[in-house]
Chain A
Amino acid sequence: MSADHLPEHPDFLWRNPDPKKSYDAVIVGGGGHGLATAYFLAKNHGMTNIAILEKGWLAGGNMARNTTIIRSNYLWDESAAIYEHALKLWEILPEELEYDFLFSQRGVMNLAHTLGDVRESIRRVGANRLNGVDAEWLDPQQVKELCPILNTSDNIRYPVMGATYQPRAGIAKHDHVAWAFARKCDELGVDIIQNCEVTGFIKDGDKVTGVKTSRGTINTEKVGLCAAGHSSVLAEMAGFRLPIQSHPLQALVSELHEPVHPTVVMSNHVHVYVSQAHKGELVMGAGVDSYNGYGQRGSFHVIEEQMAAAVELFPIFARAHVLRTWGGIVDTTLDASPIVGVTPVENMFVNCGWGTGGFKGTPAAGLTFAHTIATGAPHELNKPFALERFETGALIDEHGAAAVAH
């Protein structure tokens, strides 16, 4: 077949410009957070002479590798505030970005399998409600009604003793989210520059003045780091440290099936989280590999454990086949909360540490990080998530709400 016979390429959603000599701000990393940050910089702060520099292709990092779970049922006030704000943004973004990225508020269940789980979950439901987050406690019968394919009998090793449920939570189509932001960014004048790896920073004393890239040097007033798993590498180039450890995190999909799974089910205890995507594939997330890694792949035993958990909870899945598995590199912190704010380097800002659960935070990360970059000071919502909390001790421990599963 010659090129003449190929159909027209669909409309390109963004230009592929060459980098300019200088920008008012440069965002490092073309994942969801970099895109959302650029979007809000342009939209809310009128900064349009800006660029996103992405070493690979747009959304080729965690953005298009995650299991797309969106929820806001975190324990502490600070987290509930930022994740709930994100959820409210998710609710209006399809209209604002003029792109239906299939945000589906089908609810998310977090299963409890032990008495400890039950107590922790009920406590969290209470905390959520005080923060205006729609959270409910379901008994096993109600769990079964919402998700009939779940095994709620007591013949399994860790029977389901109940679940928290957030009806407004759900999933979205992550690559479409990236494209939606990218198209809007492009319309607003943002340069999205792919295949452009940042290899160093130019500093004047403690102040950053430019970035070195695989496509030449670019001068800039400000730099915002949105490099997820590679945040430590970039911080080191810039001369400061981050309390981040990068780990492989894996997920997998089955082949396509009839609709069988109406909601999203997460179990931190036996460790699996499952939804059925719009086309019909079962999407499941695993745990992180214990070791530090940048290899974008993890160990098979992690997948095996996750499958064992999935089949025990959903006996019907025993007949499904794994189609693909893959891994991303997640940037974990010790309190399972992100870092969004200023850095020791003047005019350089960092958004990282979202670890295994930053997809849901994308709009709020973008909004608050753009505010921080534009004004030089944090937004109310990201103030508690400053780097300095590791010195003050004001940690925001979300291991209970986050565990590894997000």
Chain B
Amino acid sequence: MLLISCPNCGPRDETEFHYGGQAHIAYPENPNDLSDREWAEYLFYRENTKGTFAERWVHSTGCRQWFNMLRDTVSYDIHAIYAMGQPRPDYPADQASAPGLAPGAATPASSATTPTSSEGV
């Protein structure tokens, strides 16, 4: 069971969340121009990183907001939690300054300022 720090609600059990797969996949700018190969890449191909992975989660039982997370797919350690639309933080380089570090770090109070939106890539 992962303990995930929702940027809005603080640390909650994994069962309150749903997984959204790889983060930062942009909808093609000109869908009509894509080749079959490019469509396949957009629809079916996702990174399957062994190591630090940027992924989306939604706090479905709580605030119903999406957010991004950097997580190690081997140790399952959570390295950073950041808002939709924000670029992927460096890890480990930026470790100390990453927003919402590891479970427990983000409290509702401190995260009230974290921008959240369901837009972005």
Q: Which residues of A contact B (CB under 8 A)?
A: 230, 232-233, 241-246, 290-295, 299-301, 334, 390-393
- Which residues of chain B are within 8 angstroms of A295 by Cβ–Cβ distance? 73-76
**Cα A300 to Cα B76 with chains together (Å):** 14
Are A292 and B55 neighbours in the complex by a CB distance under 8 Å? yes
- Which residues of chain B are within 8 angstroms of A300 by Cβ–Cβ distance? 1
> Which residues in window 1-26 of B have CB below 8 A to A?
1-2, 13-15, 18-19, 21
**Cα A66 to Cα B33 with chains together (Å):** 44
**Cα A352 to Cα B19 with chains together (Å):** 23
A-contacting 9-mer, from B38-46, B85-93, B98-106, B113-121: B38-46
- Which residues of chain B are within 8 angstroms of A301 by Cβ–Cβ distance? 1, 13-15
**Cα A82 to Cα B55 with chains together (Å):** 35
Are B1 and A243 neighbours in the complex by a CB distance under 8 Å? no
- Which residues of chain B are within 8 angstroms of A233 by Cβ–Cβ distance? 48, 50
**Cα A392 to Cα B36 with chains together (Å):** 7
Are A334 and B53 neighbours in the complex by a CB distance under 8 Å? no
**Cα A300 to Cα B65 with chains together (Å):** 25
Instruction: Name which residue of chain A comes closest to B1, CB basis.
Output: A299
Instruction: Name which residue of chain A comes closest to B37, CB basis.
Output: A391
Q: List 20 A-B contacts (CB under 8 A).
A: A232-B50, A233-B48, A243-B40, A243-B44, A243-B45, A243-B46, A244-B48, A245-B48, A246-B73, A290-B18, A292-B53, A294-B50, A294-B73, A294-B74, A299-B1, A301-B1, A334-B43, A334-B44, A390-B43, A391-B36
B71 interfacial by beta-carbon distance below 8 Å: yes
> Which residues in window 38-92 of B have CB below 8 A to A?
39-41, 43-46, 48-50, 53, 55, 71, 73-76
B75 → A minimal CB distance (Å): 7
Instruction: Name which residue of chain A comes closest to B22, CB basis.
Output: A292
Contacts A245-B21, A246-B48, A301-B14 known; list 13 others, CB within 8 Å. A233-B48, A241-B45, A242-B45, A246-B50, A290-B18, A292-B49, A293-B73, A293-B76, A294-B73, A299-B1, A300-B1, A390-B40, A391-B39
Q: Which residues of B contact A (CB under 8 A)?
A: 1-2, 13-15, 18-19, 21, 36-37, 39-41, 43-46, 48-50, 53, 55, 71, 73-76
- Which residues of chain B are within 8 angstroms of A294 by Cβ–Cβ distance? 50, 73-74
**Cα A391 to Cα B48 with chains together (Å):** 19
- Which residues of chain A are within 8 angstroms of B53 by Cβ–Cβ distance? 292
B47 → A minimal CB distance (Å): 8
A268 → B minimal CB distance (Å): 19
**Cα A245 to Cα B48 with chains together (Å):** 5
**Cα A243 to Cα B41 with chains together (Å):** 8
**Cα A243 to Cα B71 with chains together (Å):** 20
**Cα A232 to Cα B53 with chains together (Å):** 14
Are A291 and B1 neighbours in the complex by a CB distance under 8 Å? no
Q: Which of B19, B50, B74 has the most CB of A within 10 A?
A: B50
A272 → B minimal CB distance (Å): 18
- Which residues of chain B are within 8 angstroms of A292 by Cβ–Cβ distance? 21, 48-49, 53, 55, 73
**Cα A290 to Cα B73 with chains together (Å):** 12
A329 → B minimal CB distance (Å): 10
Are A245 and B46 neighbours in the complex by a CB distance under 8 Å? yes
- Which residues of chain A are within 8 angstroms of B41 by Cβ–Cβ distance? 241
Top 9 A-B pairs ranked by shortest CB distance?
A: A232-B48, A290-B19, A243-B44, A391-B40, A390-B40, A390-B44, A299-B1, A391-B36, A294-B50
- Which residues of chain A are within 8 angstroms of B43 by Cβ–Cβ distance? 334, 390
**Cα A291 to Cα B74 with chains together (Å):** 11
